[in-house]
A and B are shown apart, each in its own frame.
Chain A
Amino acid sequence: EPEVTQTPSHQVTQMGQEVILRCVPISNHLYFYWYRQILGQKVEFLVSFYNNEISEKSEIFDDQFSVERPDGSNFTLKIRSTKLEDSAMYFCASSVGLGLNTEAFFGQGTRLTVV
Chain B
Amino acid sequence: QQQVKQSPQSLIVQKGGISIINCAYENTAFDYFPWYQQFPGKGPALLIAIRPDVSEKKEGRFTISFNKSAKQFSLHIMDSQPGDSATYFCAASMDFLGGATNKLIFGTGTLLAVQP
Contact = CB atoms under 8 A, between A and B. Distances in A.
Contact of A44 (B42, B102, B106): B106
Nearest to A50: B101
Interface string B84-105: 0000010001011100111111
Q: Indicate the member of A31, A41, A45, A48 with the most B CB atoms within 10 Å.
A: A45
A102 interface: yes
Contact of A103 (B41, B46, B107, B109): B46
Contacts of A33: 103
A56 B42 contact: no
Contacts, number: 66
Contact of B101 (A43, A98, A107): A98
Contacts of A43: 36, 44, 89, 104, 106
Interface residues of A, number: 27
B106 A55 contact: no
Contact of B102 (A42, A91, A104, A107): A104
A48 B89 contact: no
B3 to A, nearest CB: 10
B112 to A, nearest CB: 15
Interface of B: 32, 34, 36, 41-46, 49, 89, 93, 95-97, 100-109
